[in-house]
């Protein structure tokens, strides 16, 4: 499964992103199982799939923040400032 590029993820709808995430997570579980049982020809495939999952989740979060109200964003900024002080 090739890695998803930023442009491909931008072109997807939220429903397509969620479906892709489910599919990719299922594929990762299968890879891990196969690696434990018989070994993989290329074990770096697991890392690539994990990175694909991170890309998808990042795109979902970016869209969530883009759609957030100003009040939610202001509250988020306050929380981030408190975390930096510690």
Q: Select from 15, 14, 20 the least CA-distant residue to 1.
A: 20
pLDDT at 4: 57
Task: Indicate the pTM of the whole model.
Answer: 0.81
Residue closest to 58 by CA, chosen among 66, 68, 47, 69? 66
Residue 6: per-residue pLDDT: 81
Size (the chain), residues: 86
Domain range 6-85, its CATH number among 3.40.50.2300, 1.10.287.310, 2.160.10.10, 2.40.30.10: 1.10.287.310
What proportion of the chain, given as a percentage, has pLDDT over 70? 94
The crossing angle, in degrees rounded to 10, of helices 44-66 and 14-37 is: 160
Span 8-22, pLDDT tens digits: 888 899 999 999 999
Question: Above 80 in pLDDT, residue 75?
Answer: yes
Tens digit of each residue's pLDDT (9 = 90 or more) over 59-71: 999 999 999 888 8
């Amino acid at each position: 499964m090739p890695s998803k590029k930023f442009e491909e993820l931008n072109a997807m709808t939220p429903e397509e992103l969620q479906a892709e995430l489910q599919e990719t997570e299922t594929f990762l579980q299968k890879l891990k199982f196969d690696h434990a049982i018989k070994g993989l020809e290329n074990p770096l495939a697991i890392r690539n799939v994990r990175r694909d999952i991170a890309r998808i989740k990042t795109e979902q979060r970016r869209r969530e923040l883009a759609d957030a109200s100003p009040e939610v964003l202001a509250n988020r900024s306050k929380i981030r400032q408190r975390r930096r002080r510690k």
